C-alpha cells in the first residue's frame, strides 16, 4: 500500500457508527485535519455534516495514546518473538484440547476484508468452531426478526435519503440525536414518534413521546397493533397481496386491549391512540427499531411485534414507506455477513447448510468436511472461557468486552484463567491490559478496506498515511498468525476482497459484482449485487420479499416480563445507553481530549422524586448494585426519566458489571437494557 504525499486529501469514512459518514483526511506537517464530504448520502444530505466524534477522529491518529509495538507479558517485543510465542502456544493448546480449545472474538468495527479473513483464520487455520463477535450485542435480535419476516436481514432495506419524504417516523428504542446525529438531518420535519423510557434529546424533537417502563416495549407494540385493527387502519389490500399469517397475529393481539397495555407499560391509552392515528393517516410512514427495543431476552419477539405493526400498515417494500433497523457499529452489518458470526459463512450463508459449506470450501481450497460446525454465541463463548469444557485460548480483534459485555466482572476473571489471551487493538484497552500478547493494530485511516453501512451500502475506506512505529494492519496480523500455523495468505485488501466476492457469490449477501473501482465511482454499491453489470439493490423488497413464496410473514408473539424485575431488595429498573461524546466501550473516545471534556465520567441519571426518597443530591457519589456486582457514579438528577428507572452510560467500566446476561432464545442477545438495582449514597 502506498500513501498520498504530505498535504494531499484522501476521501474515506468515519471510524465510528454505522452511518459511515464520508470525510476527507488531510495530513500536513504531522497534523491531521478532518472535513465532511458532500458526496456521501449518509452525511452529505444538506451540505455535509459530522458529529463531534467524527470531527475529532484525527486526534488518535497522532502520536500519544497509541500502541506502537507488540507487548509480550507487558514488555516490548519484536513481531517475530510475539508471533512465535502465539504460534507455539496455539500449537500446544490445540494438541492438548483440540481445535475448539482456541476461540476467536471479533469486532463490529473491522473492515469486511478483516472480518472475512478472521473467519477464515478460525475455520481453516485453527479449525475451531468457537468464533463470534461483538456485533451479536448490537442488532442480532433485529436480524433474527427480519430473517423470519422478510427472508433477508439488511439494516435499512432502503436508502437513508428515502426518509426525507416521510410524513411520520416511529423510532422504537433509538436515540439518534446522540448516537447518529447526522441521521436527524434526513428526517426533515416529520411527525416523529419516539418510544423510550427517557426523554432523550431525540424524544425532545418528537411530536409524540411514548415512555414505557423498561422491558415493556413488546406489550406496547402489541397494543398499538390491537388499536390499529380495532380502528380499521389495516391495509387489507397489501396484507392480502404481499403477506401471510395475518389471521394468527390478529387473534394473538385480540387480548391486548389498550387499558391492559397501559397497566403494563405506563403509557396512557390516549397517547397510544394518537400514535396509531398518526401512523394510519399518512401514505409515507416508517418504523425504525434500535438497541432499546432489541437488547432484551425477548428482543427478537419485540422487533417482530414492530414488524407486524409495519406489515399491517403496508409499509415494508412500499415506495415512500418501510421498516428498518438502525445498525449501531461501523461494520456490524458486514461483520456478520462474511464470517465472524458463529453460525454463518461468507455471503450470509448458514454454516450447517451442505451447499453453503461446499461453495465456501471450494473457494478456500479445503474439503467441506474440514470446516467446523456452528459454535457458541458471543456471550456463551465468553462465559465458557477458562472453564473445563471451554476454550483455553482466545484471539481477540477490535473489541473490549471487559467493558462492553454483561456481568463484566466475571468475564475479567475468566480471561485471567486462560492459557493464552492475544489482543489486537489500537490502544491498550481494559481487555488488552489483561492479555499475554498485545499486537498493535492500524486504524481506519491507516489501511484500505470496505465497510457496509446501515443501508447495506458497501463503502471504501482509503488509507491516508502509514501506521506509526511497528503497527501492522489487521490483515497483516492475521497473515502473521496464519503463517505460524502453516498457511501462506495475502494481506492485500483488494486481493482479500476479490476472494470475499467469490466466497459470497450466490449467497444472500452477494458481493460478487462489487469492486473497489465501482464503489469509488458510485459512492457505494448496495448488496446484493451478483454481477459487475448489476446496478446493486437499494430497495430489495419492492417486487417480492426474500422468502420462498415472496410474501412477508407475520409472526405471532406474546409479551413476557424482563428476565429480572424489581423487588424489595433491588427496587429500581436500570437501563443503559450512550451519550453523544463517547462511543461503545470508550476505549478510543476516552482518549480524545475534547470528548473527555464533553463527557468526563460515568453518571447515574435518576428522577428528583427517587433522589429525594433516597436522600441523594445532584453531584453525590452513588453506589449502584445489582445481583451481579456494583459500581459507583455521580448522580445526575433530571425530570427526563421515569420515577422507577435509572440510566447509566456504558462507555466506562462499571455499568456492565450490573447488566443481566440472560439471553434471547433466538438471537442469543443479552438483556442489556433492563435489570433490577438498588442505589445508595456513598458517604
90/104 Cα distance (integer angstroms)? 12
**What residues contact residue 154 under an 8 Å CB cut-off, 6+ apart?**
146, 333, 455, 456, 527, 540
* For residues 345-372, average pLDDT: 97
Shared domain check, 347 and 298? no
Residue 639 has pLDDT above 90, yes or no: yes
Q: What is the pLDDT of residues 572-604, one digit of tens each?
A: 999 999 999 999 999 999 999 999 999 999 999
Q: Is residue 536 part of a domain?
A: no
Residue 53 belongs to a domain with what CATH number? 2.20.25
Q: Which among 566, 616, 589 has a CA at the least distance from the CA of 216?
A: 566
What is the DSSP secondary structure assignment for residue 616, as one 8-state letter? -
Q: Is residue 287 part of a domain?
A: yes
Q: Which residue has the cell 499475554?
A: 436
- What's the CA angle centered on 467, arms 515 and 501, to 5 degrees? 20
Among the three residues 61, 80, 98, which one is the final residue of a domain in this structure? 61
Shared domain check, 339 and 196? no
Residue 405 has pLDDT above 70, yes or no: yes
Q: Which among 248, 237, 143, 152 has a CA at the least distance from the CA of 547?
A: 152
**What residues contact residue 352 under an 8 Å CB cut-off, 6+ apart?**
343, 373, 374
Which helix (H) or strand (E) segment holds residue 237: the answer is: helix 236-242
What are the C-alpha distances in Å from 315 to residues 142, 177, 242, 285, 311? 17, 24, 11, 7, 6
Instruction: Say if strands 572-577 and 675-681 run parallel, antiparallel, or are unpaired.
Output: antiparallel
- Residue 503, φ and ψ in degrees, nearest 5: -70, -30
DSSP letters, 414-434, are HHHH-SEEEEEESS--TTGGG
Written as nine digits, the cell of 512 is 460478487
Is the previous residue joined to 224 through a cis bond, with omega within 30 degrees of 0?
no
Shared domain check, 98 and 42? no
User: Which of 28-32, 154-158, 210-214, 274-278 has the least mean pLDDT?
Assistant: 28-32
- Residue 236, φ and ψ in degrees, nearest 5: -65, -35
What are the C-alpha distances in Å from 646 to residues 27, 313, 569, 578, 628? 43, 34, 16, 14, 17
Shared domain check, 383 and 503? yes
SS3 226: helix
Shared domain check, 352 and 236? no
Q: Is residue 301 part of a domain?
A: yes
Q: What is the pLDDT of residue 188?
A: 74
What are the C-alpha distances in Å from 14 to residues 19, 270, 328? 8, 42, 13
Shared domain check, 293 and 172? yes
Shared domain check, 260 and 217? yes
Q: What is the pLDDT of residue 174?
A: 95
Q: What is the pLDDT of residues 445-455, one digit of tens each?
A: 999 999 999 99
Which residues span the domain enclosing 19?
Answer: 9-61
- What's the CA angle centered on 653, arms 173 and 588, to 5 degrees? 80
Q: What is the pLDDT of residue 1?
A: 55
Shared domain check, 377 and 522? yes
Among the three residues 326, 347, 379, which one is the final residue of a domain in this structure? 326
Q: Is residue 534 part of a domain?
A: no
Q: Which among 110, 107, 15 has a CA at the least distance from the CA of 399?
A: 107
Q: What is the pLDDT of residue 543?
A: 96
Q: Is residue 362 part of a domain?
A: yes
Q: Is residue 563 part of a domain?
A: no
Q: Is residue 66 part of a domain?
A: no
* For residues 230-243, average pLDDT: 98
Q: What is the pLDDT of residue 2?
A: 60
Residue 146 has pLDDT above 80, yes or no: yes
- Letter string b/e over residues 431-444, b meaning 16 or more CB atoms within 10 A of that residue's CB: bbebbbbbbbbbbb
Q: Quick one: residue 241, left, alpha or beta (phi over 0 = left, psi -120 to 50 = alpha)?
A: alpha
55/48 Cα distance (integer angstroms)? 12
Q: What is the pLDDT of residues 384-404, one digit of tens each?
A: 998 999 999 999 999 999 999
Residue 5 has pLDDT above 70, yes or no: no
User: Which of 51-60, 85-94, 183-192, 340-349 has the least mean pLDDT?
Assistant: 183-192
Output Rg (C-alpha) for the chain, integer angstroms: 24
What are the C-alpha distances in Å from 301 to residues 237, 613, 672? 25, 35, 16
Among the three residues 19, 36, 61, which one is the final residue of a domain in this structure? 61
Residue 190 has pLDDT above 80, yes or no: no
Q: Which residue has the cell 416480563?
A: 561
pTM value is 0.96
Written as nine digits, the cell of 533 is 453489470
* For residues 148-177, average pLDDT: 95
Residue 370 belongs to a domain with what CATH number? 3.40.50.740
* For residues 141-161, average pLDDT: 95
Residue 622 belongs to a domain with what CATH number? 2.40.40.20
Q: What is the pLDDT of residue 29?
A: 73
Total residues found in the chain within this entry: 683
CB atoms inside a 10 Å sphere around CB 76: 12
Shared domain check, 363 and 498? yes
Shared domain check, 448 and 387? yes
Q: What is the pLDDT of residue 6?
A: 64
Shared domain check, 214 and 297? yes
Count the domains in the chain.
Answer: 4
Instruction: Say if strands 71-72 and 75-76 run parallel, antiparallel, or are unpaired.
Output: antiparallel
Q: What is the pLDDT of residues 488-526, one digit of tens each?
A: 999 999 999 999 999 999 999 999 999 999 999 998 999
Q: Is residue 540 part of a domain?
A: no
Residue 262 belongs to a domain with what CATH number? 3.40.228.10
Q: Which residue has the cell 488518535?
A: 60
Share the mean pLDDT of the chain: 95
- What's the CA angle centered on 649, arms 341 and 57, to 5 degrees? 70
* For residues 552-557, average pLDDT: 98
Shared domain check, 280 and 172? yes
Amino acid at each position: 500500500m502506498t500513501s498520498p504525499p504530505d498535504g494531499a486529501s484522501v476521501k474515506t469514512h468515519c471510524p465510528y457508527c454505522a452511518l459511515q459518514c464520508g470525510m476527507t483526511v488531510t495530513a500536513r506537517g504531522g497534523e491531521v485535519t478532518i472535513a465532511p464530504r458532500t458526496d456521501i448520502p449518509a452525511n452529505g444530505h444538506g451540505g455535509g455534516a459530522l458529529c463531534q466524534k467524527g470531527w475529532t477522529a484525527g486526534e488518535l491518529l497522532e502520536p500519544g495514546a497509541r500502541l506502537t509495538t507488540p507487548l509480550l507479558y507487558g514488555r516490548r517485543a519484536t513481531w517475530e518473538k510475539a508471533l512465535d510465542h502465539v504460534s507455539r502456544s496455539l500449537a500446544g493448546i490445540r494438541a492438548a484440547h483440540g481445535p475448539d480449545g482456541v476461540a476467536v472474538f471479533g469486532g463490529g468495527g473491522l473492515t469486511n476484508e478483516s472480518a472475512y479473513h478472521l473467519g477464515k483464520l478460525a475455520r481453516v487455520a485453527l479449525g475451531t468452531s468457537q468464533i463470534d463477535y461483538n456485533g451479536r450485542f448490537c442488532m442480532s435480535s433485529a436480524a433474527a426478526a427480519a430473517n423470519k419476516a422478510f427472508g433477508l436481514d439488511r439494516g435499512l432495506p432502503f436508502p437513508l435519503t428515502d426518509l426525507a419524504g416521510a410524513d411520520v417516523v416511529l423510532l422504537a428504542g433509538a436515540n439518534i440525536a446522540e448516537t447518529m446525529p447526522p441521521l436527524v438531518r434526513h428526517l426533515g420535519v416529520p411527525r416523529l414518534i419516539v418510544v423510550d423510557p427517557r426523554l432523550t434529546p431525540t424524544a425532545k424533537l418528537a411530536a409524540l413521546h411514548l415512555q414505557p417502563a423498561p422491558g415493556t416495549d413488546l406489550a406496547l407494540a402489541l397494543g398499538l397493533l390491537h388499536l390499529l385493527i380495532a380502528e380499521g387502519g389495516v391495509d387489507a389490500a397489501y396484507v392480502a397481496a404481499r403477506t401471510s399469517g395475518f389471521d394468527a397475529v390478529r387473534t394473538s393481539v385480540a387480548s391486548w386491549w389498550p387499558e391492559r397495555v397501559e397497566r403494563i407499560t405506563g403509557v396512557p391509552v390516549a397517547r397510544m391512540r394518537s400514535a396509531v392515528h398518526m401512523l394510519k393517516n399518512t401514505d409515507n410512514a416508517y418504523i425504525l427499531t434500535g438497541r432499546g427495543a432489541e437488547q432484551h431476552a425477548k428482543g427478537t419477539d419485540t422487533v417482530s411485534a414492530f414488524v407486524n405493526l409495519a406489515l399491517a400498515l403496508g409499509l415494508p417494500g412500499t415506495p415512500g414507506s418501510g421498516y428498518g433497523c438502525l445498525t449501531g457499529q461501523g461494520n456490524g452489518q458486514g461483520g456478520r455477513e462474511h464470517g465472524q458470526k458463529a453460525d454463518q459463512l461468507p455471503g450470509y450463508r448458514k454454516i450447517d447448510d451442505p451447499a453453503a459449506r461446499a461453495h465456501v470450501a471450494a473457494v478456500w481450497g479445503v474439503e467441506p468436511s474440514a470446516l467446523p460446525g456452528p459454535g457458541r454465541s458471543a456471550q456463551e463463548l465468553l462465559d465458557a472461557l477458562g472453564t473445563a469444557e471451554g476454550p483455553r485460548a482466545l484471539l481477540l480483534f477490535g473489541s473490549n468486552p471487559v467493558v462492553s459485555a454483561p456481568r463484566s466482572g466475571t468475564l475479567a476473571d475468566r480471561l485471567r484463567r486462560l492459557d493464552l489471551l492475544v489482543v489486537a487493538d489500537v490502544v491498550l484497552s481494559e481487555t488488552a491490559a489483561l492479555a499475554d500478547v498485545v499486537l498493535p493494530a492500524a486504524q481506519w485511516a491507516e489501511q484500505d478496506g470496505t465497510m457496509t453501512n446501515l443501508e447495506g451500502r458497501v463503502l471504501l475506506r482509503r488509507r491516508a498515511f502509514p501506521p506509526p512505529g511497528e503497527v501492522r494492519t489487521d490483515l497483516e496480523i492475521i497473515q502473521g498468525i496464519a503463517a505460524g500455523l502453516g498457511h501462506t495468505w495475502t494481506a492485500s485488501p483488494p486481493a482479500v476482497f476479490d476472494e470475499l466476492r467469490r466466497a459470497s457469490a450466490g449467497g444472500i449477501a452477494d458481493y460478487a459484482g462489487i469492486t473497489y473501482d465501482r464503489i469509488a465511482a458510485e459512492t457505494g454499491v448496495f448488496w446484493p449485487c451478483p454481477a459487475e453489470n448489476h446496478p446493486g439493490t437499494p430497495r430489495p423488497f419492492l417486487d417480492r420479499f426474500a422468502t420462498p413464496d415472496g410474501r412477508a410473514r407475520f409472526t405471532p408473539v406474546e409479551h413476557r416480563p424482563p428476565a429480572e424485575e424489581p423487588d424489595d431488595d433491588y427496587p429500581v429498573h436500570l437501563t443503559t445507553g450512550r451519550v453523544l461524546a463517547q462511543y461503545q466501550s470508550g476505549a478510543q473516545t476516552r482518549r480524545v481530549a475534547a470528548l473527555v471534556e464533553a463527557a468526563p465520567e460515568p453518571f447515574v441519571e435518576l428522577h428528583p422524586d427517587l433522589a429525594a426518597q433516597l436522600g441523594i443530591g445532584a453531584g453525590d457519589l452513588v453506589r449502584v448494585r445489582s445481583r451481579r456486582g456494583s459500581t459507583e457514579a455521580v448522580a445526575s438528577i433530571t425530570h427526563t426519566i421515569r420515577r422507577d428507572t435509572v440510566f447509566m452510560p456504558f462507555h466506562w467500566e462499571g455499568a456492565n458489571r450490573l447488566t443481566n446476561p440472560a439471553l434471547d432464545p433466538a438471537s442469543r442477545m443479552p438483556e442489556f437494557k433492563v435489570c433490577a438495582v438498588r442505589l445508595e449514597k456513598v458517604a
